């Protein structure tokens, strides 16, 4: 039995030093909302992306919502996004009164530039580009389209902080970019996000004014997030013994721990915690992980290279594009009878990932409420039915990744003999 379960979404970035940061942050009650850690995160992003202004939010979708408002996107307008995504992307478009328009994807599981023009109308205002799983989209081709049609290009960097395209950092191509520091993103402060605008002075002023009007989350909300790393420090070692699962269930039942998506968001509704500024207590957690970003991504890339080497010759397992500039937040394989392989791993107490099994995740999203028509993105829906994510999180050991490969081979041998 492993000391830590192999579970792709259970606070995967958290290490003992992060737990210590959370404990210290929890005790420092007078600096929960405002403090010096916000400035440190802002300074890091300014330097990393060579921008003049960066704004921190309590979630990636708060960041996107405020970006859309800063570009005066609202009723009667359309924003093109990709299918094969999370409801956290179309929701902010709906919240500002605009309509999300879904484009199909290419084999990198990113928006397909070859199909983009068919979705552009006189109502189209912007295109949001998601670099899925940390694999860069064809951003140069997409940028040419946005320039031709005078559209705003927004980069969704929730999966791709640290990735590059032709040597240039993802997040540096668009008119604007936003980031997520969610619990299973590239770096984590449990909840959190950031946004910036390039070379659009009027819109940058709008964003500054919007940000200034925001307040910080209340202490109760902040405590829920800071407790998260501490709780999982005790839950994870017990998870495979069911006691950890029971503790997690109880903590969520009494709302001591928050969930990543609220039920109201499944129908395009606006949750009560959006939009707010990023509180200082969470900025501290984010900054601590930003300092480890390079190490995190080198480790993710090393695990991905291991999977490429070990899985390339297995029948009926299809690997993601081999891109040396990708960071592989998750290593997505395509396999028939995906759910069967997922259940096979569950027998061994391993929880693989299911982004984006529902084409617009998570399960329970009401497609009609978010303007998605089932069958409208055939390739994305096919990919959603085949996709299974292998973990690449930094604390995954060589023994763990080797065990995952061993089980895939075992599963493949068993099924190929039939």
Active site residues: 185
261 secondary structure, DSSP code: S
187 secondary structure, DSSP code: S
CA 314 to chain centre: 29
The phi and psi torsions of 64 (rounded to 5 degrees) equal: -65, -45
d(CA 40, CA 45): 9
Note whether 244 and 25 are within 8 A (CB): no
For residue 265, is it left (φ>0), alpha (ψ between -120 and 50) or beta? alpha
The phi and psi torsions of 145 (rounded to 5 degrees) equal: -65, -45
Q: Which residues of 46-74 are buried (b: 16+ CB within 10 A; e: fewer)?
A: eebbebebbbbbbbbbbbbbbbbbbbebe
Would strands 78-82 and 99-103 be described as parallel, antiparallel, or unpaired? parallel
For residue 130, what are the β-bridge partners? Answer: 156
d(CA 281, CA 279): 5
For residue 333, what are the β-bridge partners? Answer: 388
Q: Respond yes or no on whether the N-terminal peptide bond of residue 372 is cis (omega within 30° of 0).
A: no
d(CA 111, CA 115): 8
């Amino acid at each position: 039995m492993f000391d830590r379960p192999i579970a792709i979404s259970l606070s995967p970035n958290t290490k003992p030093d992060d737990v210590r940061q959370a404990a210290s942050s929890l005790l420092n009650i007078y600096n929960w909302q405002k403090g010096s850690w916000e400035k440190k995160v802002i300074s890091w992003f300014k330097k990393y992306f060579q921008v003049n202004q960066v704004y921190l939010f309590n979630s990636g979708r708060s960041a996107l919502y405020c970006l859309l408002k800063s570009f005066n996107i609202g009723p009667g307008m359309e924003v093109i996004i990709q299918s094969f995504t999370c409801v956290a992307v179309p929701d902010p478009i709906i919240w500002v009164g605009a309509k999300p328009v879904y484009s199909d994807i290419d084999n990198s599981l990113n928006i397909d530039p070859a199909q983009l023009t068919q979705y552009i109308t006189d109502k189209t205002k912007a295109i949001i580009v998601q670099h899925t799983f940390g694999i860069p989209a064809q951003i140069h081709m997409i940028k040419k389209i946005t320039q031709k049609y005078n559209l705003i290009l927004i980069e969704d960097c929730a999966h791709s902080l640290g990735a590059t395209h032709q040597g240039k950092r993802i997040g540096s191509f668009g008119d604007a970019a936003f980031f997520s520091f969610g619990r299973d993103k590239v770096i984590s402060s449990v909840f959190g996000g950031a946004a910036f605008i390039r070379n659009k002075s009027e819109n940058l002023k709008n964003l500054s004014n919007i940000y200034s009007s925001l307040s910080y989350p209340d202490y109760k909300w902040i405590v829920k997030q800071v407790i998260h790393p501490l709780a999982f420090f005790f839950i994870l070692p017990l998870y495979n013994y069911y006691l950890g699962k029971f503790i997690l269930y109880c903590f969520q039942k009494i709302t001591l721990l928050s969930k990543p998506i609220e039920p109201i968001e499944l129908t395009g509704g606006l949750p009560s915690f959006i939009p707010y500024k990023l509180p200082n207590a969470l900025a501290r957690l984010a900054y601590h992980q930003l300092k480890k970003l390079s190490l995190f991504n080198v480790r993710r890339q090393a695990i991905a290279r291991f999977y490429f080497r070990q899985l390339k010759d297995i029948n009926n397992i299809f690997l993601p594009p081999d891109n040396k500039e990708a960071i592989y937040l998750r290593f997505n394989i395509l396999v028939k009878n995906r759910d069967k392989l997922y259940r096979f791993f569950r027998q061994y107490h391993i929880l693989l990932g299911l982004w984006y099994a529902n084409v617009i995740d998570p399960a329970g999203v009401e497609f009609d409420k978010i303007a998605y028509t089932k069958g409208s993105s055939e390739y994305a829906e096919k990919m959603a039915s085949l996709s299974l994510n292998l973990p690449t999180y930094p604390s995954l050991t060589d023994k763990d990744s080797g065990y995952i490969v061993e089980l895939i081979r075992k599963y493949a041998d068993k099924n190929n003999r039939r």
